[in-house]
Amino acid sequence: MRELKTVLPYLRPYRWTFAGGLVLVLVSNYFLTLGPKFLELGIDALEQGSPFAEVRRAGLLLIGVALLGGVARYGMREFLNSGSRKVEYRIRNALFQHLQRLSSEFNDRFATGDVMARTTNDLLAVRMVIGPAIMYLVDTITRGALIGPRMLAISPRLTLFALLPLAVLPLAMFVLGRLIHDRSMKVQTQFAALTDHIHENLSGVRVVRAYRQEAAEIAQLGRLNEEYVRRNMGLASVQGAFRPLFTFLGGLSAVVVLAVGGRLVIGGSVSVAAFVAFGVYLAMLIWPLIALGWVVNLVQRGAASMGRINVLFRQHPTVVSPPDPVPLPPATGGRAITFDHVWFRYPNAKGRGWVLQDVSFHVTPGSSLAVVGATGSGKSTLVDLLVRTYDPDKGQILLDGIEVRDLALEELRSAIGFVPQETFLFSQTLRENILLGADGTHQLDRVIETAQLREAIATLPDGLETMLGERGVNLSGGQKQRAAIARALAIDPPVFVLDDALSAVDAHTEAKILAGLRGALAGRTSIVVSHRLAAVRDADWILVLEGGVIVEQGRHEDLIARGGRYWSLLRKQQLEEELEGVRSEE
């Protein structure tokens, strides 16, 4: 219940909707519980030989209260169920907004499928508590409060015997409720694992097919699915005990009423009409008590699900804007970038050790920096720190002399056009993907030309208006990378970062793109990360990373003349290209 209390702020804006629904619960039960009284009057009129008008009056009143109670119950469902949908809408929006603000450290710890399960399946379970569970709980309580005095008025002794079998219910609800809560948590956890596997498999379906792993993936899903079914069956076995138990106790109560009430009728202390009315009251009370078992089930499942959702809400971004951000000065061209004794290791992989160690360098405004090194040397991590995907453990990073942690995140990231190593395109038109974050369309032709994207657009069925598939599946790897470069250029940033984003294009196209970028980036500060050293030879300054440490830095000619690590990397790539040329000739 502590977890479910967190729903209250989302429910508050619709409190009058829920209040109206709960009032209608009271109204509907008031009219419905009048029915047995009019039934009793009709039977009494027949038994006493009263005029048929009395019987007809009782029948009409019975029909009238049934109609009024039915209309009120319709309104009750309309108010409470629609209110629960609105609360679900607010929670989903709030959760998605919260997820958008979380840092990359969160995504390193939580699988996408798990988060999807919590925002869909778990949220549905919470909605069932807010709507149906509240409705039936209040319905049971109000009906009991209205029926109890009427039953006592007929016979306190008969009421005591009738309710005696139902005294077992609180203990049963407590024991079974705890079992349902624990098993619901296990079911939801397994559902998250199942969702994550399906999401990952469908995202990597080309790899699965290329390596002929269809059978292995099907088998793995089968194992996860079997465990999901096993846990659901365990939950179902407990849930299944509710209705039979409640029905048995209700039937036992009816037997007691028949035995004890029959003696009272025979003894003359209770009339036949009153006995019939008492039986109807009991029947009207038993069904809500049976529904109470379902309510307990919904509440326990909803509490378990809200607990899982609250785990997400309790996550806090580690990379945030400062309370009083320092504004950047107006940019006349590029911006200066300084790394001052920066150390970094990934928050969720401390055992991996330092990824960057004591990295220091300075890039003057409008100049270009190239970062090279072997795979795993820390190149991508370096540019991730610049845009504050993560924050360094030690040292500081400055943009125009201002520590990046003192800048508003929005201002920092709008100042940097970042093309990540892994290109991601949305299921929108190519035009919308390129203009993502841009102020207008005035630079569209120029960025398309610079990114060497015009020829690719000509081959698409609807040109720029072509709707892209998931992750840009209808584009080649090179076309996706060029689209990402155009997208970064479209925001017209003073700083441009290219993180090995030309790996999927051939050397000739890469040379053309880089030539176009040199013109487009004139006057801007640029950082180019590349595994191809031929692509960075024209940079104003080159850093060579190895094991997270800058082992060499300087201009291309100076580094070649030094004959160190940069020279050996370049020589190795040249030999590989020569071997590839020989193989192609053969």
The number of C-alpha atoms within 13 Å of 555 and in the hemisphere containing its C-beta is 5
CB proximity list for 316: less than 8 A, separation 6 or greater: 102
Residue 545: its H or E element: strand 541-546
State which amino acid sits at residue 413: R
Rounded-to-integer distance, Cα 20 and Cα 28, Å: 12
Residues 123, 90: Cα–Cα separation, whole Å: 11
Other Cβ atoms closer than 10 A to 586: 5
Provide the residue ranges of all domains of the chain, joining segments of one domain with +.
90-313, 334-415+496-586, 421-492
Distances, alpha carbon 385 to alpha carbons 342, 388, 399, 437, 497, in Å: 10, 5, 12, 21, 12
Contact 316, 268 (CB under 8 A): no
Looking at domain 421-492, its CATH superfamily turns out to be: P-loop containing nucleotide triphosphate hydrolases (3.40.50.300)
Determine the pLDDT at residue 549: 92
DSSP result, 74-98: HHHHHHHHHHHHHHHHHHHHHHHHH
What residues pair up with 543 in beta bridges, in sequence order?
A: 371, 553
Topology classification of domain 90-313: ABC transporter transmembrane region fold (1.20.1560)
150, amino acid identity: R
Q: What is the pLDDT of residue 492?
A: 84
Which amino acid type is present at position 536? V
Rounded to whole angstroms, the Cα distance separating 172 from 184 reads 18
d(CA 499, CA 344): 18
Ramachandran angles phi, psi of 357, nearest 5°: -130, 115
What dihedral angle (degrees, nearest 10) is formed by the CA atoms of 582, 583, 584, 586?
90
Neighbouring residues of 227: CB distance < 8 A, sequence distance ≥ 6: 190
- Neighbouring residues of 398: CB distance < 8 A, sequence distance ≥ 6: 336, 337, 338, 340, 404
Average pLDDT of every residue of the chain: 83
Of 524, 520, 496, which is closest to residue 367 (Cα–Cα)? 524
Query: What is the model's pLDDT at position 265?
Result: 80
301 vs 182: CA distance, rounded Å:
9
Cα 505 to Cα 480: distance, rounded to the nearest angstrom = 10
Return the bridge partners of 528, or none. Answer: 370, 498
C-alpha distances (whole Å) from 425 to each of 86, 142, 256, 432, 469 are 32, 55, 70, 10, 9
371: nearest Cα among 389, 385, 350: 385
Q: Which amino acid is at 267?
A: G
H-type helices in 405-465, by residue range? 409-414, 430-434, 444-450, 454-459
CATH of domain 334-415+496-586: 3.40.50.300
Closest to 521 measured CA to CA, from 489, 551, 552: 489
Q: What does each C-alpha distance from 78 to 20, 64, 81, 84, 411 come to in angstroms?
A: 10, 21, 6, 10, 46
C-alpha neighbours within 13 Å on the C-beta side of residue 194: 18
Secondary structure (H, E, C), 226-267: HHHHHHHHHHHHHHHHHHHHHHHHHHHHHHHHHHHHHHHHHH
pLDDT value, residue 270:
79
Per-residue pLDDT of the chain (586 residues; tens, 9 = 90+): 678 888 889 999 998 999 999 999 899 888 888 877 877 777 777 777 777 788 788 888 888 888 998 899 899 888 998 999 999 999 999 999 998 888 888 888 888 878 888 888 889 889 988 888 888 888 888 888 888 888 888 888 888 888 777 767 766 776 776 777 778 778 878 887 888 788 778 777 766 776 677 888 888 888 888 888 888 888 888 777 766 777 777 778 778 878 887 888 887 777 888 878 888 888 787 777 767 767 877 888 888 889 889 999 999 988 899 999 999 888 777 889 999 999 999 887 777 789 999 999 999 998 989 998 888 888 889 999 999 989 999 999 999 999 999 999 989 988 888 888 888 888 888 888 888 878 777 778 888 888 888 888 888 888 888 888 777 778 887 788 888 888 888 888 899 998 876 766 666 667 777 777 777 778 889 898 887 776 788 888 999 999 899 999 999 888 888 888 888 888 877 676 666 554 554 5
Q: What's the pLDDT at 392?
A: 93
Q: CA-CA distance, 146 to 369, in Å (whole number)? A: 80
Coil/strand/helix, residue 504: coil
Note the pLDDT of residue 363. Answer: 92
Residue with tokens 């070649």: 560
| Exposure letters 71-99 (e unless 16+ CB within 10 A, then b) | ebbebbbebbeebbebbbebbbeebeeeb
Which residue matches tokens 């969720």?
348
pLDDT at 1: 67
> Do the domains 90-313 and 334-415+496-586 sit in the same CATH topology, yes or no?
no
* Residue 124 to residue 121: CA distance in whole angstroms: 5
